[in-house]
Amino acid sequence: MDKRTIFDIHRLRDLGMKERKIARHLSISRQTVRKYLEHPDITKTKSYSKPSKLEPFYDFIKQLLEQWPDANAEVIRQRIADKGYCGGRTILRDYLQAIRGKRKQPKAFIRFETQPGEQFQFDWGHFGSLIYGTTHRKLYCMTVLECHSRMLYLEFSHSQNQQAVMRTILNAFKFFGGTPVELVHDNLKTAVIERVGDIIRFNEDYLHFLLPFHIRPYACGLGDASAKGKIEKGGIHYVRYNFWPCRNFSDLNDVNNQASRWRDQVANARLHGTTNEIPLERFRPDALHPLPDVLPDTRDMADAKVLTDCRFKFDGNSYSAPHWLVDKRLSIKADNRTVWASYKDKIFVEHPRSWERKAVIENPNHIKDLLLTRKKARFSRQQQILFSMGEPMKKFYDGLAKAGKSLSHATGRFLELRDHYGTSAVISAIETAIKYQAYGVDYVENILHQSMCPRTPYPQVILQNPSLNQLQLQEPDLLIYDAITLKKRNEHDDQN
């Protein structure tokens, strides 16, 4: 009580007023009048307030607000609860309001409710970008809301193109387990091509996508956000100020994994402020139309040619393919996680999708198969050279195969023996080995060593092109030259 009021109490009493009249005149209680008439010198004792439960978290809250200035009280409460805060929301809201000051005055709107399964609303929002190496990829979020229960689905994407829109909506239908009667959205280009007043020309691909679900699309009027007010406030706005702040993400999969946990543990498990019910418990899946047996293919699609380096390009990156697909055109399909490539309607390539730019994604088996094929081709050419030496060489190879000996090892050794001893000597030694059924390169080499001396070895000429050093020339068939000589001799005799 201030000293002026105490003085007035005593002044009015001196004028002859009773306690009731003094209390009515000064708008205070009779007990207060009586107390200060009996004890006019009473002064207010100094009170000591209890420390706030929020006080130990002031510094942490300031750190969060420095990084996320627009984070609301609920998001801050979730973060400090992890650090041990057990207080209420009111003191936190009062503290944030004292720091920030008053927010702008909200606008009035008309609320309307829908029946279970009657309406879904969806909307897009931009959430900055994610960094992959030196590449920045824009990040978008689509939210889909079942309007009766306020059940929420959200999915992040690096694109807002036609396939991304249809793919995300389809994933939402799968999450809810069915489809609504009406799908409400704004005038995005992937859904509405042109609009004049209430006359709307919808995107044909969008209508074709909705056809098997028997859904009626509804595009809001221009500037009429209240027509989809549930998704405006309970979708992108809710995600932006409840899920997004105070989090770190590594890639698109990480964002969607965290979003799924938040959706199940917070968004759909909270007590909704409007319905006063938990969305998961209010949701009526039996009111939705069932999904058709065959669902649309909503993957990103493209065509690409396999280049000579056994790679094809897709979305700014190079992906490996089997060597036998070189110079062939592949049909590429991709979702947010995987890239598939098919040839003649059969899938031959599957890679994890990369969100970098100018990256090379290789399957080690593709390179391994190419190297193995080249090695086989090299041995095949060398064996053809040996087989051109005559029928004994083919017969000896058959014997090697039956004896279980390594043909590739024998090929290399025979080429060395041919260069060292000459073709005729090697064939003679092979014929001897066949006679005694001694199938092995060591036997042939021993016969050559015992029967004759090797030719004078000359140093090999090393060419600058490594591939030319692998060339092996076939042994010329001298019978061909004999036939030419005999033919010319006969022609000369006929002329004489």
Residue whose C-alpha is closest to residue 176's, from 286, 255, 335: 286
Least Cα distance to 155 among 298, 272, 257, 242 occurs for 257
Q: How many angstroms separate the CA atoms of 213 and 208, rounded?
A: 10
Close Cβ partners of 424 (under 8 Å, ≥ 6 residues apart): none
Hey, how many other C-beta atoms are within 10 angstroms of the C-beta on 467?
Answer: 7
pLDDT band at 284; cut points 50, 70, 90: very high
Mean pLDDT, residues 138-156 = 94
Pick from 15-24, 122-131, 156-165, 317-326: least confident: 15-24
Give 184's strand partners.
121, 218
Q: How far apart are CA 486 and CA 363, in angstroms?
A: 59
**Mean pLDDT in the chain?**
83
Name the most confidently modeled range: 15-24, 275-284, 441-450. Answer: 275-284
What's the pLDDT score for residue 176?
96
DSSP state of 241: I
Closest by CA position to 164, among listed 124, 121, 217: 124
Neighbours of 49 (CB within 10 A): 5
- Residue whose entry in the numeric block shows the structure tokens 């692998």: 470
CA angle in degrees (0–180, nearest 5) for 295-353-315: 95
Share of the chain above pLDDT 70, in %: 82
Select from 213, 216, 157, 212 the least CA-distant residue to 191.
Answer: 216
pLDDT at residue 329 greater than cutoff 80? yes
Q: What is the 3-state secondary structure (H, E, C) of 377-436?
A: HHHHHHHHHHHCCCHHHHHHHHHHHHCCCCHHHHHHHHHHHHHHHCHHHHHHHHHHHHHC
More confident residue, 224 or 407: 407
The arithmetic mean of pLDDT across residues 442-458, rounded, is 73
For residue 42, count CB atoms less than 10 angstroms from its CB and return exposed for 0-12, middle for 13-18, buried for 19 or more.
Answer: exposed
Confidence class of residue 286 from pLDDT cuts 50, 70 and 90? Answer: very high
Q: pLDDT tens digits for 256-269?
A: 999 999 999 999 99
Look at residue 178 in the predicted model and tell me its pLDDT: 95
Q: Is the pLDDT of residue 471 over 80?
A: no
Inform me whether the pLDDT recorded for 52 exceeds 70: yes
Strands 119-132 and 216-219: unpaired
Range with lowest mean pLDDT among 195-209, 263-277, 352-366, 402-416: 402-416
> Which residues, 6 or more positions from 482, have their beta carbon under 8 angstroms from its beta carbon?
none
Answer whether 147's CB lies under 8 Å from 118's CB. yes
Over residues 444-448, mean pLDDT = 86
Least confident of 75-79, 100-104, 374-378, 438-442: 374-378
Between 455 and 360, name the one with better pLDDT. Answer: 360
Q: Closest by alpha carbon to 478, among 393, 388, 418, 397? A: 388
Instruction: List, in sequence order, the alpha helices (H) in 185-275.
Output: 204-210, 229-231, 237-238, 252-262
pLDDT of residue 250: 92
* pLDDT number for residue 269: 93
pLDDT at 73: 81
Q: Does 385 score more than 90 pLDDT?
A: no
Those residues with Cβ within 8 angstroms of residue 44's Cβ, 6 or more apart along the chain or in another chain: 1
Residue bearing the bigger pLDDT, 373 or 127: 127
pLDDT category, 226, cuts 50, 70, 90? low
Q: With 0-12 CB in 10 A as exposed, 13-18 as middle and 19+ as buried, what is 404? A: exposed
Name the least confident of 60-74, 98-112, 120-134: 98-112
Q: What is the mean pLDDT of residues 421-443?
A: 87
pTM attached to this predicted model? 0.58
